[in-house]
Chains A and B, each alone.
Chain A
Amino acid sequence: MRSRGTSRQAAPWFLVIPGFLGLALLVLPLVGLAKDVPWSGLWRIWTDPAALTALRISAECATASMVIAGVLGVPLAWLLARDVVPGTGVLRGLVLVPLLLPPVVSGVALLSAFGRYGVVGGVLFDWFGIQVPFSTAAVILAETFVAMPFFIITAEAGFRALNRQYEQAAATLGAGSWMTFRRITIPLMAPALIAGALLTWARALGEFGATITFAGNFQGVTQTLPLDVYQLLESDRAAAAGLSLLTIAVCIVILIVLRGRFQRTAP
């Protein structure tokens, strides 16, 4: 006999068993990692100069990517949401491509465009003597390429969910498009923009494939936290696990910040 007094729905076995298998698949690697972490030497691993430098480069580049994604992503998301240019469907598809590309391929594509002999890179080198690949700027570019779609998707959904009446009301009060955008649209969009920015930052922080292909793995210049972990894996697995734990900690903080966001509905 089932106990009464609970509003919880009865769970059928054919959902419970595969459901928990899925959960195990997601959680077991983390448990394995926790087993490998040398808990007593954790502080030494986290404060290792190379790790600290990698952490700084990671945080700086991820933040720069987030800012670029925001400044360029808000207008792009607006164009997609309001359907103001012909072929919006195709544009949206193009925006999503970086999400589906293997990151290594993204890196190769970035090299083709911004490399010494690339379409844009050639011009930059010939005219200004600027070489993008294998620089910190390349890290930011790679991370932005891979992470910006997260921002655009979230922001576009926010623009679509926004009740157009608020903008129309502002227009009937005599507000121009800039005043309406700044004082009405953006504040109402704030929850979506913050969520998109955090997702973008987190994705940029974890970027590996495009970064190592396009920017290389140079300590102090392009070596981010994931690249450092990758390098440590060959020499010191325990340290790699310890450093991995740091990135997991960052993920958990972001999850906690975003938690309320995905349960609330937009205004």
Chain B
Amino acid sequence: MTIHINGTVRHREFTLTLDETFPSGTTWAILGANGAGKSTLLRAIAGLQPLTTGSLSIDGALVDHADGFITAQRRRVGLVFQDYALFPHLSVADNVSFGFQTPRGGNLSKGRARREAAHLLEQFALAELAERKPGQLSGGQSQRVALARALAPRPQVLLLDEPLAALDVVARAQVREDLALRLAEFTGITMIVTHDPADARLATHVAILDQGLVTQSGTVWQVCQQPIGPYARALADAFG
């Protein structure tokens, strides 16, 4: 199961140009400054932003090319939004069970979906928060709920948009540890967009984006050996 993307995404004045392969079982940190195109890359893979030119395939299936576009609904891609986007009117349990009730999540009945959700919440140590509304959660808790929700419909690809950016410094290190444990159990491809080189600890591979272009990509070790540009050097320093 690999992702291959070769094309461009144009958004107003900005163009993101990509020719990358993300192999099976890898966890990627997509590093770069604000406006480098990191979130656009995630949105293209999730199916929320069509490519302008070129093609994108996931697990051998063309999901975005000149004569076809598979919508987000029908891609097996989970996305954890930067501000989590938990449904504010639904409880934690209902947020998570939503994903079990969709066609991709198994079309489960409300009762069965809630039982599956309860099981997942148990694994995520969220059981006691099941009846809370998202407004009553801390940042770290919201993030864990968002991750559980994204995993409910069993995605092949898991995308996280700046998962730690909304947290304060104290919570960040703790949530990063927690996230590392959760992600270790996920067997598909994971891509974490971040502007913090320290978050590369979560990843096996790294791709550095600068003004719409991938300047460097490979394993964390490879990039640290011969860093190109400020972000790669910051990464090398963080891991040196």
Is B23 at the interface (CB under 8 A from chain A)?
Answer: no
In the assembled complex, which residues on chain B have CB atoms less than 8 Å from the CB atom of A165?
81, 83, 85
Q: Name the interface size band of chain B.
A: 20 to 34
The residue of chain B having its C-beta at the shortest distance from the C-beta of A172 within the complex is B79
Between A173, A184, A187, the greatest number of chain B beta carbons within 10 A of the residue's beta carbon is seen for A173
Rounded to whole angstroms, the CA-CA distance of A163 and B89 in the bound complex is: 13
In the assembled complex, the CB of B25 is this many whole angstroms from the nearest CB of chain A, namely 21
Contact A172 B103 (CB under 8 A): no
In the assembled complex, the CB of A106 is this many whole angstroms from the nearest CB of chain B, namely 37
Is A119 at the interface (CB under 8 A from chain B)?
Answer: no
Is B104 at the interface (CB under 8 A from chain A)?
Answer: yes
Contact A168 B72 (CB under 8 A): yes
Known contacts A187-B89, A267-B88; A171 and B105 CB within 8 A of each other: no
Is A183 at the interface (CB under 8 A from chain B)?
Answer: yes
Is B28 at the interface (CB under 8 A from chain A)?
Answer: no
Rounded to whole angstroms, the CA-CA distance of A118 and B83 in the bound complex is: 55
Contact B87 A184 (CB under 8 A): yes
Q: Which of A165-192 contact B (CB under 8 A)?
A: 165-166, 168-176, 179, 183-184, 187-188
Is B150 at the interface (CB under 8 A from chain A)?
Answer: yes
In the assembled complex, which residues on chain B have CB atoms less than 8 Å from the CB atom of A175?
73, 98, 102
In the assembled complex, which residues on chain B have CB atoms less than 8 Å from the CB atom of A187?
89
The residue of chain B having its C-beta at the shortest distance from the C-beta of A175 within the complex is B102
Is B153 at the interface (CB under 8 A from chain A)?
Answer: yes
Known contacts A165-B81, A165-B83, A179-B102; A172 and B72 CB within 8 A of each other: yes
Candidates A172, A173, A179; contact of B48 at CB < 8 Å: A172
In the assembled complex, which residues on chain A have CB atoms less than 8 Å from the CB atom of B103?
174, 176
Interface majority SS on A: helix, strand, loop or mixed? helix
Rounded to whole angstroms, the CA-CA distance of A168 and B77 in the bound complex is: 12
Candidates A166, A173, A188, A267; contact of B99 at CB < 8 Å: A173
Known contacts A172-B46, A173-B150, A175-B102; A166 and B85 CB within 8 A of each other: yes
In the assembled complex, which residues on chain B have CB atoms less than 8 Å from the CB atom of A179?
101-102
In the assembled complex, the CB of A236 is this many whole angstroms from the nearest CB of chain B, namely 51
Rounded to whole angstroms, the CA-CA distance of A179 and B153 in the bound complex is: 15
Is B149 at the interface (CB under 8 A from chain A)?
Answer: yes
Q: Mark B60-99, 1 if CB is under 8 A from A, else 0.
A: 0000000000011110011101010101110000000011
In the assembled complex, the CB of A267 is this many whole angstroms from the nearest CB of chain B, namely 6
The residue of chain B having its C-beta at the shortest distance from the C-beta of A177 within the complex is B73
Q: Which of A121-173 contact B (CB under 8 A)?
A: 163, 165-166, 168-173
The residue of chain B having its C-beta at the shortest distance from the C-beta of A179 within the complex is B102
Q: Mark A4-28, 1 if CB is under 8 A from B, else 0.
A: 0000000000000000000000000
Candidates B46, B72, B98, B153; contact of A183 at CB < 8 Å: B98
Rounded to whole angstroms, the CA-CA distance of A188 and B87 in the bound complex is: 9
Contact B104 A174 (CB under 8 A): yes
Rounded to whole angstroms, the CA-CA distance of A168 and B72 in the bound complex is: 8
In the assembled complex, which residues on chain B have CB atoms less than 8 Å from the CB atom of A168?
48, 72, 81, 85
The residue of chain B having its C-beta at the shortest distance from the C-beta of A168 within the complex is B48
Contact A171 B48 (CB under 8 A): yes
In the assembled complex, the CB of B80 is this many whole angstroms from the nearest CB of chain A, namely 9
- A-B pairs with beta carbons under 8 Å apart, 9 shown: A165-B83, A165-B85, A169-B85, A172-B77, A172-B79, A175-B98, A183-B98, A184-B87, A188-B87
Residue positions of A touching B, CB distance < 8 A: 163, 165-166, 168-176, 179, 183-184, 187-188, 267
Q: Which 4 A-B pairs have the closest CB atoms?
A: A174-B104, A174-B102, A165-B85, A171-B72
